[in-house]
Amino acid sequence: MIVLSFTKDKYLVMATFLGDIILWDLETFERSNAVKIHKDTINDLRECTICFRLRSCFITGSSDHSLKIMSLRMEDEQFVEILQLKTDQPVGAVAELRNYIVVGAAKTKMLFWSLDNIEQPLAVIETHT
């Protein structure tokens, strides 16, 4: 499985089933080295608007039961982890709006977090009965 997302700059970010992120420069078509950011498959990858002050910010969800917000440091094209949240199930999908993150867990849950308090979710909703 490969998941793709464009950044606001000139890059395409590619996530792999090995938990790696690969960066493609769309002007030169050069590829960066793979960087392992998760221990298992990355199931979702989205541009992140939460970190509006950071450039090329994205959010990932993984089968390793975590989601991460990452930023690309432009001067040396290195990834920087900004935030990691853990769940009790594989993360199948991620979404964010303003100060909130929603996680679709692979089995039966949706978890809602506020970035004002990341110690625990604001709400956990069972999606199947």
Q: How many domains does the chain have?
A: 1
SS3 12: strand
Whole-number pLDDT of residue 55? 60
Average pLDDT over residues 86-100: 88
Write the CA distances from 86 to 38, 55, 65, 100, 118, integer angstroms.
Answer: 12, 24, 6, 15, 10
CATH code for position 45: 2.130.10.10
Whole-number pLDDT of residue 23? 85
CA 110 to chain centre: 16
- What is the domain range of residue 10? 2-126
Q: Are 43 and 4 in contact (CB under 8 A)?
A: no
- Tell me the pLDDT tens digit for each residue of 20-78: 988 888 899 888 778 899 999 999 998 887 665 556 688 899 999 999 988 876 556 67
